Structure 1
């Protein structure tokens, strides 16, 4: 009798185990894989799908054809480390201590009580893996299970190193971050008029077709001077982006071969705008309005263009939502746009918060875009606008600086370097942000309304720079951890 009972218990245990295993497998299969592909300093100016007829980006263009392309997607700070902390935390950098660059003597690190996207996904059963540029700290806050190594300038090699992750038995989150098209070392060319390489090199990279552009044929954005130096550097920038495109194509080919395409969400973004003066490190449109292409095979949305306003602070809650992971919405400053992907104008406000790039570049700016109006508050407006070291040394800027010409593109050099406290633009009528309405008659009500929105935003996101409004010290702490 005892023997029979033991056998029955054994059979029941096996059945329960198999049943649980099947339920777990079903739960796994219900969760999509997610690839977040992040370029370094890539603006909307240099992707075919966004209107550039010169650059060759067939794989990114295909992604746009198969998904949704956002035309009003914004980072919160046009600086690499600060932006990446927001992408992976869902909180503004001024609230997490991620004020600027994390590396070397800058040392801006995220508070260790923050729970980041990879940690939350890992707790929910995802395999989390990263490759390429990291640029956030501390590691225990932004912890990934798997760290893959490859040349971050060779995106084809990077893709090949992701093979095991793509074949994972678990749902996976792959954080794929290139060094392209960031400016390459050395930042200070010799002679000064030599264009930066943007990571390009003679002979190219193994497995990557070298695509070279004629400087005479590149498209010079309106905010830049149309000079020999600008064109030569833009040509190098284009070449670096074509390398990204090939690596992205390789990754998509490998994904197709695994048979997981129909259960994998792919998101392509950049951390900030192109590495030219007037874009990167500024909060003007070329610095913070960026590419964002989302392909979600679980939604029947293909070849759509979406004008709704979204922000990188929304990415963490959005990805958690896509992954069907429960989370407390109050833990994030951003809001999931997963349900808004197919809605053209679901949102009408975004905010930006820039404080540092390098530690020597103190120039805090806060931004609100509401509808077509955009307000920039230059908190340190009495200071000369600081240059990132690589942008200062660029031949594009040096050609203007050394010749002592009055204009940098459409703006006067003195207006670029010395800015008013407030800049108010109507982006529908003035997309190039050339006419400041902040001190124009008749715009006082709009200016005051936008200031009010900024103050509310700062209070809601625990921004220490709230004190700069009439010495408001409501967020001032005691200096003692309680």
Structure 2
């Protein structure tokens, strides 16, 4: 049976790795992994916040189907991938983010290493050492293994930030090293969905430094796998649980909220250096993919489908669009959002946006949002952008071909009425098929007879 190594980043933007268009030297280890496997350029997580994203991955079910819409445990009697792997004799291990899969005991890890033992989740050498120990233990027992290695970078607090100094004492900061490359504000290019302001530039440089240390973790874990001699029998998957913790990214339904840098290396299955730029895939697809790797029957009621056909570079229908959701922030504030996007258009329904409610989330706690608010006093465009972020519109529609940064909401434009109707229709159908609890509210707001017949 194939071993499975799942490596996750915490809050890494889908375009950060060099192999996904990021800075050329940002992620050398991820870029090496990409050259040895296949990259997916339209990979998305179901929900752009940590625990719901990870719970969905491990259950193969949408958050509203597994119960973990926010930072809650999954429902009783929900099957997790660990159940099937353990029954098949796999040894199960997790490094970091242990308490972000709840209830912890439900996942029945044989080895669970918390963030303190991993240098607050930021010590690459500790990850490599623990990974090597785990693999050796499984090998000594003659068992296949599943290891979930969860870097805590580049989650806030970012490297070198005031928030980092406030959160941890100097003694605690000794638990982990500096990244192997530290970025300066004057050498970075700010993502286009954010204004290029000094505060934003400084914070983005801090983020990239933290992303580099995540890459350092990836390198140490992959080196441990190589030393074990088991790399040829191991499926390796890398992804981020959601986008970076900046405005218009994490804890939303924008393109950069859920886009994830998915890399898969599977000796004998993937062709080195290949790329899938056309098919939309959802991290719900990993559960059935892991079943295939382990030679297990896939449960019939999962919300994803195996990626094996795509890994073998075969064409597959029904991957022309992707759905994503958002329910609740880490502070347990509800901001219900639903999204459907394809290669051309992205549509978002903000159920919470009523003209009175105001959005607030972790992505607004750093330098970038403060810089935007300060600049808004003199810049009308930034003021409009900031005001929109706080209140939103009930519906958002973006032409991703001409506006990939989602800067211009076109939902009210008559020229796109047919597109809007088609996207409403697609979302209504998906909500009905998955039993989304807000489908009645959506139907009441957007009557079916006004949706049109278009599906795309």
Return the TM-score normalized by structure 2.
0.87
The corresponding residue for 1:161 is 130
The corresponding residue for 1:16 is none
- 1:138 paired with 2:81, answer no
Using a 3 Å threshold, how does the CA distance of structure 1 residues 332 and 131 change in structure 2: closer, same or farther?
Answer: same
Residues 112, 141 of structure 1: 8 Å contact kept: no
Partner Cα distance (2:331, 2:201) in 1:
30
The structure with the greater share of residues assigned to helix is: 2
Aligned partner of 1:266 among 222, 233, 236: 236
Residues 166, 172 of structure 1: 8 Å contact kept: yes
The corresponding residue for 2:333 is 361
Residues 35, 264 of structure 1: 8 Å contact kept: yes
The corresponding residue for 1:449 is 422
Taking the TM superposition and a 5 Å limit, the aligned residue runs for 1:6-85 are 31-85=1-55
Shift in Å, 1:208 = 6.3
Using a 3 Å threshold, how does the CA distance of structure 1 residues 206 and 276 change in structure 2: closer, same or farther?
Answer: closer
Partner Cα distance (1:418, 1:178) in 2:
33
Aligned partner of 2:276 among 306, 313, 320: 306
Partner Cα distance (1:435, 1:401) in 2:
19
Partner SS state of residue 183, structure 1 = coil
Partner SS state of residue 363, structure 1 = strand
- 1:128 paired with 2:95, answer no
Using a 3 Å threshold, how does the CA distance of structure 1 residues 223 and 300 change in structure 2: closer, same or farther?
Answer: closer
Return the TM-score normalized by structure 1.
0.83
Which consecutive unaligned segments of at least 5 residues does structure 1 have? 1-30, 102-107, 473-482
Using a 3 Å threshold, how does the CA distance of structure 1 residues 160 and 90 change in structure 2: closer, same or farther?
Answer: same
Shift in Å, 1:139 = 2.3
Partner Cα distance (2:51, 2:281) in 1:
20
Taking the TM superposition and a 5 Å limit, the aligned residue runs for 1:279-294 are 279-294=249-264
Shift in Å, 1:66 = 0.4
Residues 68, 293 of structure 1: 8 Å contact kept: yes
Using a 3 Å threshold, how does the CA distance of structure 1 residues 199 and 182 change in structure 2: closer, same or farther?
Answer: farther
Partner SS state of residue 179, structure 1 = coil
Shift in Å, 1:391 = 2.8
Residues 148, 162 of structure 1: 8 Å contact kept: no
* Cα distance per residue 1:180-230 (max 9 Å; x no partner): 11002999x8xxxx5767999977655766422111001200011212211
Residues 306, 342 of structure 1: 8 Å contact kept: no
The corresponding residue for 2:296 is 325
Partner SS state of residue 201, structure 2 = helix
Taking the TM superposition and a 5 Å limit, the aligned residue runs for 1:176-325 are 176-184=149-157, 194=162, 210-307=180-277, 308-325=279-296
Aligned partner of 1:415 among 362, 370, 388: 388
Residues 223, 410 of structure 1: 8 Å contact kept: no
Moved more, 341-350 or 194-203: 194-203
Partner Cα distance (1:442, 1:236) in 2:
42
Which consecutive unaligned segments of at least 5 residues does structure 2 have? 446-456
* Cα distance per residue 1:67-101 (max 9 Å; x no partner): 11111110111111111111111111012221112
